[in-house]
Amino acid sequence: MMSHSHITRTCSLWCADWPVIALRRRDGALRGVPVVVRERVGSREVVRAASAEARAEGVTRGMRRREAEARCPGVAVVDADLALEARAFEVVARAVETVTPRVVLERPGVCAFPTRGPSRYFGGDHGLARHVRDTVADVLGNDDDADSVRVAIADGAFAARLAARQASAREPLVVASGGGASFLASFPVRALGDDALADLLARLGLRTLGDFAALSTDAVLARFGAEGRRLHDLARGLDDAPPVLVEPPADLVEMVELDPPAARVDTAAFAAKGLADRLLARLAERGLACTRVVIEAETEHGERLSRCWRHDGALTPAALAERVRWQLDGWLHAHASVGIDDGRTDVRERQDAAAFADAGLDTTTGALTSLRLVPDEVVPADGRQLGFWGGDQLGAERADRALARVQGMVGYEGVVTAVVQGGRAPAEQVRWVPWGEPREPLQPLVVDGEVPSWPGAVPPPSPSRVFEPPLPAQFLDAGGNPVVVSGRGEQSAPPASLRCDALPARGGPVVAWAGPWAHDLRWWDPSTRRRRALWQVVVANGHDNPHGAAHVACLVSVEGGAAGVEALYD
Amino acid sequence: MAVVATPGGRRTGALPRRDADARAQLAEVAGRARPAVAAGDRLIPVPGPLGDALANGGLRRGAVYTVDGARGAGATSVVLSFAAAVTNAGEWAAIVDPYGTVGGRAAAEAGVVLERFAVVRHAPAPRWSTIVAALLDGFAFVAADVPRHCRLGDARRLAAKARERSAAFVAIGPWPAEAAARVHACASRWSGLGVGEGLLSARDVHVEVEGRGAPIRTRLAG
């Protein structure tokens, strides 16, 4: 089991409405007017971020673009530009880097770092938080932009992230060490970032993280699995770090030399894409996934650049490639303006560079000559591998959803899985359990360590088609009389032919047989007593068959004088 | 596996050379013991002669296969072998069985992992294609008895759905649309059972696979 001996005290920095700020920093005309940044989700255009002016008119995140325009006429609607957001955030990242080298970017607008060293240097958490806020505000320059900066310090990245949302622009929020759980208790469960689980918890009457945290760990693990357990830990204010940290294998660093040096983002990003794919493929081979990666680059002037990106859950190749691209964009655009102007850099790039120069930050001074991806934090990739119950967790969830839908269409009992149990006839040897119920046999194969015997059970191989009730048939001896069984379990005469409408050519002569297995079921109870005899029978099926003599094997039963095909070996 | 003892105590002249037989056995065991198919793999390998008869030795995700044959010829066993291959690869399989006749014990004996093998035992004909489509959403492998009057449009829609969701779909019975391969169970021959003696023990299934190119004839021991 994991231990929670230490929870990294973390400082989180969040720039509210970063997409708007990034756009305004590029285009001054957007300042002072209501702005909405739109993005496409499926076929809908929704609001990704809105400026304070637009929010005052009732525009909210996730609202449809059309509705936003209706609520706030004259709003400037701008397309989201993730690359721009990331590039602009590089200024902030570098400013934070003056405080600590261990900055981890989560997404444009949010970054975090462990406070242990810096906090002591700046005279405590409050001092550090204020210093970070002031540094970043200085770099951003503009008052409006500076007002968006929120800084908070708490135990663990998750608590710090939520605390940053509550911090005010002027005063950073510091959650006392050890007070994480009580701080988190009042947040809604939706803050966990898992909407499906949040919906479920709300329906169970658990509306806040405090309610969720109050559940016992064992109960959460049993009901919601490993992922639920992780979120439960978060709600209890325990560390956000992946549960099982594995030391990244040293030889998993992926590296590429860029020759000629890449001065343009697309050239470098193309190389990075292959690098990202290779890294994740090699990790996957070892059953690992990556949650934090360090992107390193070297310029033609020998500078070394490096930046750490963190991701909730395992990085996919696409997500990793995107982050590398953002980072390269940040580095190279800083260079493009300050370094050589080869005529290809556009106005936008120069403005970005001007922002760096204004901020008094170092900028990259050359094209990139090499690129390295270092997995910084790897976890066992349980998402893809067989889980404890032998099932891929993701596959189980998908299947569960599909079966729930089908159960809605055909009824609860209509969707089943088989459980093998003890019994004599094939129909009795299996219990069909409705999906969602515990898979337990009614007549276990093993009782208290002993295997109960089922006298007269039909031995394997088992028939692949079982008919309940048996298909009506005629089971005749050589004289054309029905085969019957005496009270002592002996047949009246050897079977010679089997006629059944369901068989090919409506049956035929019996070429081989064994039996009868006489079953006297529930003989102690006259009202439910059944007597039945079973034969294994092979019927020749010579008709319409180019492969010579063919066989149909079936299980024939005689009960109360009536014969039937109990099962077919299809 | 046979253990070969070398006479002469400590003499370590040479390890016994693995003969072809041992190699084949080893390959078979290795094939069975393979833990999982990576989710990215397009192919779900089917072991044994049945797999050899299929193009590339397995079921392709997103493709439609048909399996048919007279009753008792072995079509159900073929479907169960597919389901066994899929569930042993860690994937989920479902079968639509409107008359509720598939034998659970036979499935277990074929090697199907029953926990991951869902059976839909009631499927009203008008909702058949909706049910199959819903299953294709969540399962890597879906097999279904095709109702007698399955329309071409429905069949094509299901094929498109299977392709979109990367699920292998096996239609049992007459399938009006195109298929990557058509498996015909032609005939079975049983052995072990005599006249009034013995038990059914083994059988050969003659299977013809008709796909792109000429049909391949194969015999399965079952």
Per-residue pLDDT, A396: 79
d(CA A446, CA B176): 47
Identify each DSSP E strand in A215-278 by its residue range.
Answer: 254-262
Q: What are phi and psi of A52, to 5 degrees?
A: -60, -40
Q: Does B48 touch chain A (CB under 8 A)?
A: no
Strands A254-262 and A368-380: antiparallel
Location of structure tokens 């002016």 = A53
Interchain contact, A494 vs B195, CB within 8 Å: yes
Model pTM above 0.90: no
d(CA A204, CA A219): 14
A148-197 per-position pLDDT tens digit? 899 999 988 888 888 998 888 888 889 888 888 888 888 998 888 878 88
**Contacts with B, A 325-384, CB within 8 Å:** 384
- Give Cβ neighbours of residue A400 (< 8 Å, ≥ 6 apart): B138
Residue A461: is the preceding peptide bond cis (ω within 30°)? yes
Q: Does A406 touch chain B (CB under 8 A)?
A: yes
Q: How does pLDDT run along chain B (222 residues), one tens digit per residue? A: 333 333 333 444 455 556 777 777 877 777 666 545 444 457 888 888 888 888 878 888 889 999 998 888 889 999 999 999 999 888 899 999 988 899 999 999 999 999 899 999 988 888 899 999 999 988 999 999 998 888 899 999 999 999 988 899 999 999 998 898 999 988 888 888 888 888 888 888 888 888 754 455 555 554
Per-residue pLDDT, B192: 86
Smallest CA–CA separation between B4 and chain A, in Å?
Answer: 33
Q: How many CB atoms lie within 10 A of CB A409?
A: 16
d(CA B114, CA B122): 19
d(CA A142, CA A562): 94
When CB atoms are compared, the residue of B115, B122, B200 closest to A417 is B115
Chain B residues close to A382, C-beta within 8 Å: none
Strands B58-60 and B43-45: antiparallel
Helix (H, G, I), strand (E, B) or coil at B193: strand
Smallest CA–CA separation between B30 and chain A, in Å?
Answer: 17
Mean pLDDT (chain A, rounded): 80
Q: CA A374, A380, A381 angle in degrees (round to 5)?
A: 95
Identify each DSSP E strand in A333-406 by its residue range.
Answer: 368-380
Can you list the alpha helix ranges (DSSP code H) found in B64-217? Answer: 75-88, 104-110, 128-138, 152-165
Location of structure tokens 């076929």 = A43
Chain B residues close to A554, C-beta within 8 Å: 72
d(CA A68, CA A50): 9
**Contact status, residue A86 vs residue A330, Cβ threshold 8 Å:** yes
**Contact status, residue A335 vs residue A266, Cβ threshold 8 Å:** no
Q: What share of chain B is helix, strand, coil (3-state, %, to 5)?
A: 35, 30, 35
Nearest-Cα residue of chain B relative to residue A421: B105
Location of structure tokens 């070892």 = A286
**Contacts with A, B 53-82, CB within 8 Å:** 70-77, 80
Give the single-character DSSP code of A447.
Answer: B
Per-residue pLDDT, B219: 56
Smallest CA–CA separation between A154 and chain B, in Å?
Answer: 38
Q: Does A410 touch chain B (CB under 8 A)?
A: yes
Enclosing H/E stretch for B44: strand B43-45
Here the tokens at position A139 are 């770099």
Helices (H) and strands (E) in chain A, counts: 16, 20
Residue B124: is the preceding peptide bond cis (ω within 30°)? no
Q: Count of residues for chain B?
A: 222
A10-65 per-position pLDDT tens digit? 899 999 889 998 888 888 888 888 899 988 877 778 898 888 888 888 888 888 88
When CB atoms are compared, the residue of A384, A512, A569 closest to B72 is A569
**Contact status, residue B170 vs residue B139, Cβ threshold 8 Å:** no
Give the single-character DSSP code of A148.
Answer: T
Buried b (16+ CB within 10 A) or exposed e, A338-366: bbeeeeebeeebbbbbebbeebebebbeb
**Contact status, residue A489 vs residue A516, Cβ threshold 8 Å:** yes
Chain A residues close to B41, C-beta within 8 Å: none
Per-residue pLDDT, A108: 86
Location of structure tokens 């959403």 = B137
Per-residue pLDDT, A547: 53
Q: Is the pLDDT assigned to residue A76 strictly greater than 80?
A: yes
**Contact status, residue A255 vs residue A272, Cβ threshold 8 Å:** no
Per-residue pLDDT, B64: 93
Per-residue pLDDT, B220: 56
Here the tokens at position A31 are 């300042």
Smallest CA–CA separation between A294 and chain B, in Å?
Answer: 26
Identify the burial level of B204 via C-beta atoms within 10 angstroms of its C-beta, where 0-12 means exposed, 13-18 middle and 19 or more buried.
middle
- Give Cβ neighbours of residue A176 (< 8 Å, ≥ 6 apart): none
d(CA A249, CA B21): 39
Interchain contact, B72 vs A417, CB within 8 Å: no
Of B203, B145, B152, nearest to B178 by C-alpha is B152
A253-267 per-position pLDDT tens digit? 888 888 888 877 777
When CB atoms are compared, the residue of A394, A432, A568 closest to B71 is A568
Of A427, A425, A556, nearest to A494 by C-alpha is A556
| CA–CA distances in Å: residue A534 to residues A33, A518, A567, B171 | 87, 6, 10, 32
Here the tokens at position B136 are 């294709």
- ipTM confidence score: 0.79
**Contact status, residue B121 vs residue B100, Cβ threshold 8 Å:** yes
Chain A residues close to B70, C-beta within 8 Å: 504, 541
Split at pLDDT 50, 70, 90, the class of A390 is: very low
- Give Cβ neighbours of residue A15 (< 8 Å, ≥ 6 apart): A21, A89, A92, A109, A110, A136, A148, A149, A150
Interchain contact, B92 vs A553, CB within 8 Å: no
A333-381 per-position pLDDT tens digit? 754 433 333 333 444 444 555 554 444 444 555 788 888 888 887 777 6
Per-residue pLDDT, A294: 86
